[in-house]
Structure 1
Amino acid sequence: MTTHLDAVARYRGAEYRRLFAAARRSLERTGWDLSGTIGVTNPDEAERNGIIGITGRYHRAGIKRIEITLSELDAAVHTATGLSLTELLEQIGPKLANRPAEAAKDATSREEALRPAYQSSLYQTADWYRTWLNELSRDGTLTKLLAQRETMHIVAQATRVLEFMENRPKSSAPITLPALAAAVTHNTKALNHGISLSTLVIRALATRAGIPKPTTAEERRDLWDRFDVILDDLASRVLVLNLPADGTGLGEWLTGAARFGTPFYVTLHQIINHPITIAAPVVYVCENPAVLRRAAGELGPKALPLVCTEGRPSTAFHRLARTIAAGGGELRYHGDFDWPGIAIATNVFERHEARPWRMSAADYLGGLATGDDHVKLVGRQIPSPWDPRLSQAMCEHSKAVYEEAVADPLLADLQGPAICTR
């Protein structure tokens, strides 16, 4: 006697696999609608006989495609097993999905998750905020958060963080990241890197600033600092030489170091907690500490004010640059003649309205003439808007010229009168 289980087991055979796979795809796509038609293309002999056995309809050998309506297959399955087609497919496994129902549920969940964000005052007043929300909906971020069951509260929390930052008085002192997290979520670690809430807020801030999403710790630190949120005010630092300043604490230390022509590291913590003013009309900026070291060793206190980014500018550098600009000072920047160096220079020029310092095509070609041991340029060509011929010349010669190789003319520019120590 053939049992119910025997009938189900029979339909697990290889001869039925493609037929039931086609039925599964159609049912899942249409929400278990039985009005469609499915088929098996170029069936082998076992598949042909299996379909004949299910439907009772003959199909000749060598037929190119056998088609069957889902309603007919459902009736045949029910006669053989007592189960509907959908019940049989679930018995065979895996569980049958209902894509339209799932899509509708996801849409409802997304709508519920975004409702607090749409009700925010930022939605009416800030283009960047609407762009951020649209991107979250468009690029799959919300779908991923839904799968992790985080969306319902994470988006609302991110909105509250952004509102808190937007509504802080402009005159407020910078706030630390843990303090910001606690003020909004009552959890000091809620905005730590890698947590979904932090990721959402960082994306919003990058959109607001009109820059790409940060990928490094320094870029994240700098982005938070743009909005007066401090991550690690001790790790971020900048190297300076002969930069006297007014102000207790840091101002006194800088002025004392300048008196002796001594290089001095300034941390972001010092800049924030010991406000200074800088009255230097011109401050030179280099990329490599070897240049500053030579200036200190050869010129000492006679060198003009010099700041070193030590590669990609830190948050401390950007803060110090803003302080210099606020005092009426002008930055003049020089860096490596390679593609990362051009990118750094572009950022400094655009962000701080700095001027190029021996960063022309002629300066690059002059550096090439100093020797033949220059390394090959690598990476993608980057334009040099302040002198388009520079990028063209670098691409043509395909050689990098590092700052140390052209330090002599830089030091000649830095030769000046002794720093006033007031």
Structure 2
Amino acid sequence: MAPLHTEPPFDPETLAFLSRPGLNRLWESARTRLERSGLRPTGTLRLQHLDPQEREALSLLLAKPVTGPSATIRLPDLDTRLRASAVGRGLAATLTALGPPLTDRRAARDATTAERDRLWSEAEAALAATPLADQPWAHQWLTDIRRSGTLTRRPSTSITQAIQTLVTLFPGTGPAPAPAPAPTPVTWGRGELATRTTGSAHGLDDGTLLARLVLRGIALAQDVDFPTDAPARRALWRRASVTPDEVSSTVLTYGLRPTGTTWREAALRERADHHLETHLTLRELRTLHLELPSRPRVHVCENPRVVEAAADAGCTVPLICTSGSATTVVLTLLDTLAATDCAFAYHGDFDWPGIILANRVMGRYGAEPWRMTAPDYEYLAARTELRGMPPLPLVGTPVEATWDAELAPTMEALGVALHEEAALDLLLEDLA
């Protein structure tokens, strides 16, 4: 809708009359109604629970007595009244002059819908111009994205880049004129693929909208479920011959002596024999044979200091560190060991984030609590106090420990947070 013509400002007397507090509710209600109705003065307003000040102001404005606790006002009549009075302009112009400017919300909504429809039409045309046009899964992908409401604003760039990425991954999906040997699939690094299709090496990073769109397309093309966690997302990338970054994140390990016969397992055994910690990448985990002899109980800690102390003390028990959070590479290692029937024992920080992490690890792997019960906490808290160490306040939202119903109430009662270092000597005794 075209903007209203600029009206001259009200003279001081008219402005004072229209700005009196008794008319505030009227103007607010009228503004809301006009913005919803295309700036046209239609329908009625009903103001209830009028106070004396409002009744007086409305009586003067409408040129008729308002005496009851409520008033019904027809907006066409109000518009006519304003034009015929000293105000000299209609309701929309009056509200604009009183400020702020009116917004035609209906027109804005219609314009947004029309623009979105246009952009989706462009996306459909872009898909139709690619080899994916003959693939039912590609059209289903585009339909699912639109229905899901994933893209609520200007989908053009994201959809275009997603289509280009899928075409790059599935270049030969159109109908072949004659049978031919299947081409050797091209393997892409995810950063390389992102640079090719978006101009940025991080365009397909985990968690980005574009990555989710492309993975949804890959899942449909491969007829598999959409991944719900990071390991599954990495596996789906690999199904499409895309190699995620598998070297930048590592898991800290100590004392792993796998039975495999390649140089990789031999290197781990040698490092364990020399009491050296090892950082393993996702790439290494995919090639290692990690079955351990006699399927021992593997201890899992939260803080790297525990691994360092275990190495200094020459401990021999296998130990894995989450380094504060169970990232994809940590879970991948634990999943691999769990598949070989290893049992786990877990220790972490006695604070609420520590309990959250412990719940996750214990719940996923059925790990035993490793000096992580209410009596363990009480003992450590008392020992810390006796040693004269400054207490660390326990802050945040309490979290129930799934393995010990008494732990969270005990922590709340004492109000002290304890990091793993407080139990370091006891943990080393268990690892010796």
Q: TM-score range, shorter-chain basis?
A: 0.5 to 0.7
Q: Secondary structure at the match of 1:406?
A: helix
Conserved in 2, the CA contact under 8 Å of 1:237 and 1:268? yes
Conserved in 1, the CA contact under 8 Å of 2:40 and 2:92? no
Change (3 A) 1:324 1:8: same
Matched, 1:24 2:31: yes
Q: Secondary structure at the match of 1:238?
A: strand
Matched, 1:267 2:281: yes
> 2:346 aligned to 317, 333, 350, which one?
333
Conserved in 2, the CA contact under 8 Å of 1:20 and 1:89? yes
> 1:295 aligned to 266, 285, 310, which one?
310
Instruction: Tell me the equivalent position of 1:411.
Output: 428
Conserved in 2, the CA contact under 8 Å of 1:304 and 1:414? yes
Q: Distance in 1 between matches of 2:431 and 2:193?
A: 43
Instruction: Tell me the equivalent position of 2:372.
Output: 359
Conserved in 2, the CA contact under 8 Å of 1:113 and 1:156? no
CA offset at residue 330 of structure 1? 2.7
1:273-328 deviations in Å (ceiling 9; x for gaps) = xx10112212222222222222212225xx12212222223332222222222333
Gap runs ≥5 in structure 1: 53-57, 166-171, 212-220, 416-422
Instruction: Tell me the equivalent position of 1:254.
Output: 268
Q: Secondary structure at the match of 1:378?
A: coil
Gap runs ≥5 in structure 2: 125-134, 170-184, 220-224
Conserved in 2, the CA contact under 8 Å of 1:277 and 1:324? no
Q: Distance in 1 between matches of 2:30 and 2:72?
A: 11
Change (3 A) 1:203 1:400: farther
Within 5 Å, which residues of 2 pair with 1:189-338? 189-192=202-205, 196-197=209-210, 225=234, 232-245=245-258, 246=260, 248=262, 250-272=264-286, 275-280=287-292, 281-282=295-296, 283-300=298-315, 303-338=316-351
User: Amino acid of the residue matched to residue 261 of structure 1?
Assistant: H
Change (3 A) 1:46 1:9: farther
CA offset at residue 47 of structure 1? 8.4
Instruction: Tell me the equivalent position of 2:410.
Output: 393
Which deviates the most, 323-332 or 335-344?
Answer: 323-332
Q: Secondary structure at the match of 2:402?
A: coil
Q: Secondary structure at the match of 1:335?
A: coil
User: Amino acid of the residue matched to residue 15 of structure 1?
Assistant: F
Conserved in 2, the CA contact under 8 Å of 1:161 and 1:201? yes
User: Amino acid of the residue matched to residue 36 of structure 2?
Assistant: R
Q: Distance in 2 between matches of 1:338 and 1:164?
A: 47
1:71-100 deviations in Å (ceiling 9; x for gaps) = 234445666899765567668876643334
Instruction: Tell me the equivalent position of 2:42.
Output: 35
Change (3 A) 1:404 1:91: closer
> 2:419 aligned to 384, 397, 402, which one?
402
User: Amino acid of the residue matched to residue 422 of structure 2?
Assistant: A
Q: Distance in 2 between matches of 1:239 and 1:291?
A: 11
CA offset at residue 236 of structure 1? 1.4
Conserved in 2, the CA contact under 8 Å of 1:239 and 1:265? yes
User: Amino acid of the residue matched to residue 406 of structure 2?
Assistant: R
Q: Secondary structure at the match of 1:28?
A: helix
Q: Distance in 2 between matches of 1:339 and 1:8?
A: 63
Which deviates the most, 15-24 or 376-385?
Answer: 15-24
1:224-279 deviations in Å (ceiling 9; x for gaps) = 5575677653431222212133365643432221121112222334335xx10112
Q: Distance in 2 between matches of 1:376 and 1:405?
A: 14
Change (3 A) 1:223 1:90: farther
Instruction: Tell me the equivalent position of 1:418.
Output: none
Change (3 A) 1:228 1:244: farther
User: Amino acid of the residue matched to residue 347 of structure 1?
Assistant: R
TM-score by length of 1: 0.65
Q: Secondary structure at the match of 1:388?
A: coil
Matched, 1:151 2:155: yes
What is the RMSD computed on CA atoms of the aligned residues?
Answer: 5.1
Change (3 A) 1:195 1:286: closer
Q: Secondary structure at the match of 2:372?
A: coil
Q: Distance in 1 between matches of 2:114 and 2:364?
A: 42
Q: Distance in 1 between matches of 2:100 and 2:226?
A: 45
Q: Secondary structure at the match of 2:417?
A: coil
Conserved in 2, the CA contact under 8 Å of 1:175 and 1:228? no
> 2:398 aligned to 381, 396, 400, which one?
381
Conserved in 2, the CA contact under 8 Å of 1:339 and 1:382? yes
Q: Secondary structure at the match of 2:392?
A: coil
CA offset at residue 46 of structure 1? 8.9
Identity %: 29
Q: Distance in 2 between matches of 1:362 and 1:122?
A: 58
Conserved in 2, the CA contact under 8 Å of 1:376 and 1:400? yes
User: Amino acid of the residue matched to residue 97 of structure 1?
Assistant: T
Number of residue pairs matched by the alignment: 371
Q: Distance in 1 between matches of 2:299 and 2:75?
A: 78
The structure with the largest helix share of the pair is 1
Q: Secondary structure at the match of 1:332?
A: strand
User: Amino acid of the residue matched to residue 322 of structure 2?
Assistant: T
